[in-house]
A and B are shown apart, each in its own frame.
Chain A
């Protein structure tokens, strides 16, 4: 842990976005995670995404549970709203917050312990409800805070730092999310910001639950030979299926891809996500085909990455519930809860 704060000195030629902010204005406090933690890479990618999307800090809500991953909301956008929930319970807090104030941008940060063990039920139901949020699972295969026990995402045959071999099968969060009907499913790597940043930007603009599984190596307890979630293993086994390019609303499309290899998806707000298929015949809008493909790739020990599945047309939680467009928090309390007299009037209908 560094003893000094990050110096205020900055590069005088940093780009400034339309809000007059530089990328450094989206930072939080200094990370207290281990030096080299993948999670800090994810934080940096998020900061970049917020800067590029010109997010107003006070329009952002960041939520997390418990674990190394769940400490990271402190390390970005100090001016945003924040909630550090009970272990595994971030999804329901996020759902509640979103129900009350649908106009904020919600980012949930979780880990493999938080989402796949104690919070697995919560995770699944947030997907079913299609809560409009970006949900990031920082996946390192171990419990770092408790010194490196296997988590529920550890692969069969991978070894702990002490040499113990894991024999229990993993829960694959991507396959789980797909099978539960998630509408935005991606997998990426903390050491590859070129891939991560456009995925995060697309996820922030997705109308519904945007799930990103990020392989985020635990540099202290799971970066050895024998680990399948180390920097070296992820780099040598990572296999990019889809290259994502996020084109904000009213921007010129500049990246060119050969015909047939590209699919465009227009997002809820009019921005466009361009999906360039690196791996031949792959349809990121065909859920069953994607699942088949992932099972096949996974059985070879390869890690398929990219924005793997995207479906923009469906309803989110507010759509299902048919709620009003105006955020509930902005409706005067007297209108939200008109009192017992009004209730009696309503009940008269059934008398």
Chain B
């Protein structure tokens, strides 16, 4: 193996599993440390830099960071990263003076943003401070997109939503509400804008075209449309017996909303079994805690209509088995009738671009989706960019935010005459955390406590009012407990080979057996020759240069390192140091960083 280049920002970035998994690369360990220090405002602002909506995401994020958390490989449960984010948002102080401001002088460039969802808002957040004039066109009377219409207020209070959107809008974004763009061609032809961003989401709920659908339409609703109607108070009740078809997160919002609108007997109908559910595990748990029943292996066959009114549905009872190609195939072994007053369809969402003409240079490809460059977010028509669910179909808020950041980089380059493929590079600061002989600037002790449980508002009370937030959030005691579970994966074990005397002290003390001094070889071979085999191929192994005394190399399997710092504490020559790696993420208009790490070490190298 060649010696690992730890000065490449991406190497240490990958060690920080949560940050690596986060589409927006939020610096999770640092914001958790700030919370631990009681610096909620600083923690909030650090979050806001990358994910823009910490209060919203602290309640609603799909949490790609949590399954990635190293803690899941040491014990079962990840750090409650998302809920800690909410703590920062809930307890922060005044931030008016810290928020980005619109540039004092406009740069004369005008950008049109279609749809006021998280993607467009992020683009505005990044571009307005650079002097751009941003104009948002929104079909609904209020901003937020699916954040507003799809997420019920018992999960996301409207005040939290609006406060964070206002931080952007109040910089001076021009917004046209109730202004649906019906023709992209017209907007382009007006000639008012230098660049365009399509952030219209995936607003069309999927249909279930089985017998009885049309006849029963009065009581069969598309999930996301139904949720939107609740938000705008066009709907305030539901039948006693409700069937929710589908088992994704929208289905969870539908069944829990039904509970709050007077539904008594709520059943979520799944075609497959639990391992195949699309909903996040915590949303399933929350729904079940509210006494929603989830039935598996029920495949919808037809709606039953009597006297022009919905009576229920017939389901095929199915069993699933993998066929020889590994595909799941169902066999029917019966059927059953389940009565219902209302049925909610939550089986997915589609994009819809009837308003984009097909002869204006914006090409459409498979699934009737626009052809979009993965790196630049530009469509095939120059100056027209897209992001969020509109670009590649339904994802989640945090992806929309990252798309917004990247599209903003492109729009800025495009308007300034810089090639949009010139993406500013990532950088890294690397600073020793050594404070004393065996003291570090972080809490290095491993705390074996298990994940802190969330407390909820009293069941009866929360089911009585759509607006009562279900989760209570962590109190101070719970916060203090949970922050200590973070393993500080950004505090890197940084190795300087020419200082090593091969005394084995680091290897002997490592609690998780991740270090080995051995003869060099190919990576696959090395992975099997370590103190414990490095079988997790998703995790890198570090290889040092040849060591001075024997010419062997130091190898570290990054997989299970708990960043306790004992290797550095037991190292007599400070060949190991615990250094904080801070990923420098480029945003639109940011100056670029030096390509190699800026280091401040305690050791003279």
Contacts and interface: CB of A to CB of B under 8 A. Distances in A.
Contact of B570 (A10, A12, A40, A231): A40
A232 B549 contact: yes
Given A1-B438, A219-B572, A235-B550, A9 B512 contact: yes
A346 interface: no
A336 interface: no
A290 interface: no
A41 B505 contact: yes
Contacts of B573: 36
Contacts of B572: 34-37, 219-220, 223
Given A9-B74, A10-B512, A11-B512, A2 B448 contact: no
Contact of A35 (B75, B445, B560, B570): B570
Interface in A31-86: 31, 34-38, 40-41, 43-44
A7 B505 contact: no
A14 B503 CA distance: 23
A35 B573 CA distance: 9
Interface in B74-116: 74-75
Contacts of A9: 74-75, 446, 448, 511-512, 560, 562
B366 to A, nearest CB: 42
Contact of A219 (B503, B509, B512, B532): B503
Nearest to B533: A13
B445 A7 contact: yes
Given A34-B572, A36-B571, A232-B549, A41 B508 contact: yes
A11 B513 contact: yes
Contact of B562 (A7, A40, A235): A7
B533 A35 contact: no
Bin chain A's interface residue count: 35 or more
A10 B503 contact: no
Contact of B446 (A8, A13, A41, A43): A8
Contacts of A7: 445-446, 448, 511-512, 562, 564, 566
Given A7-B562, A36-B571, A231 B511 contact: no
A17 to B, nearest CB: 15
Contact of B438 (A3, A8, A235): A3
A91 interface: no
B514 A35 contact: no
Contacts, number: 106
Interface string B493-509: 00000000111110111
A191 interface: yes
A193 interface: yes
A268 interface: no
A24 B511 CA distance: 8
B448 A8 contact: yes
Interface string B569-585: 11111000000000000
B566 A4 contact: yes
A273 B145 CA distance: 75
A38 B503 contact: yes
Given A10-B513, A235-B550, A4 B502 contact: no
Interface in B498-554: 501-505, 507-509, 511-514, 532-533, 535, 549-550
A145 B331 CA distance: 77
A43 B570 CA distance: 14
B395 interface: no
Contacts of B74: 9, 12
Contacts of A12: 73-74, 560
Contacts of B566: 2, 4, 6-7
B504 A11 contact: no
B501 A11 contact: no
Nearest to A23: B513
B429 to A, nearest CB: 26
B535 A231 contact: no
B439 interface: yes
Given A7-B564, A36-B572, A14 B513 contact: yes
Contacts of B501: 36, 219, 223, 231-232
B88 to A, nearest CB: 27
B6 interface: no
B146 to A, nearest CB: 40
B444 interface: yes
Contact of A2 (B513, B514, B570): B570
The interface residues of chain B, by DSSP majority, are classed as: loop
Contacts of A6: 509, 511, 566
Interface residues of B, number: 35
Interface of A is mostly: loop
A4 B569 CA distance: 10
Contacts of B532: 11, 13-14
Interface string A183-213: 0000000110100000000000000000000
A217 B549 contact: no
B570 A44 contact: no
A235 to B, nearest CB: 5
Nearest to B575: A36
A44 B446 CA distance: 22
Contact of A36 (B444, B505, B512): B505
B502 A231 contact: yes
B511 A10 contact: yes
Nearest to A5: B445
B512 A4 contact: no
A228 to B, nearest CB: 16
B571 A11 contact: no
A220 B571 CA distance: 12
A4 to B, nearest CB: 4
Contacts of A34: 572
Interface string B433-454: 0000011000011101000000
A34 B570 CA distance: 8
B415 to A, nearest CB: 51
Given A7-B445, A219-B572, A44 B513 contact: no
A6 B448 CA distance: 12
Interface centre among A11, A24, A190 (most CB of B within 10 A): A11
Contacts of A40: 504-505, 508-509, 570
Contacts of A24: 511
B438 A41 contact: no
Contacts of B569: 2, 35
A223 B500 CA distance: 13
Contacts of A4: 444-446, 564, 566
B435 to A, nearest CB: 12
Contacts of A220: 572
Contacts of B505: 35-37, 40-41
A35 B568 CA distance: 9
A183 B73 CA distance: 48
Nearest to B73: A12
Interface in A110-157: none
With a 10 A CB-CB cut-off, give which of A4, A34, A219, A220 has the most chain B CB atoms. Answer: A4
A220 B73 CA distance: 37
* In the A-B complex, the 9 residue pairs with the closest CB atoms: A36-B572, A7-B446, A44-B508, A4-B445, A11-B513, A36-B503, A7-B511, A219-B572, A35-B572
Given A4-B446, A11-B514, A37-B572, 19 more contacts: A3-B439, A4-B566, A7-B512, A10-B511, A12-B560, A13-B535, A24-B511, A31-B570, A34-B572, A35-B505, A36-B505, A41-B505, A43-B508, A191-B502, A217-B503, A219-B501, A232-B549, A235-B549, A235-B550
Interface of A: 1-14, 24, 31, 34-38, 40-41, 43-44, 190-191, 193, 217, 219-220, 223, 231-232, 235
25 contacts: A2-B438, A2-B569, A3-B439, A6-B566, A7-B445, A7-B511, A8-B448, A9-B448, A9-B511, A9-B512, A10-B511, A12-B73, A35-B505, A36-B501, A36-B505, A37-B572, A40-B570, A41-B505, A43-B508, A219-B501, A219-B503, A219-B572, A231-B501, A231-B502, A231-B503
Interface of B: 73-75, 438-439, 444-446, 448, 501-505, 507-509, 511-514, 532-533, 535, 549-550, 560, 562, 564, 566, 569-573
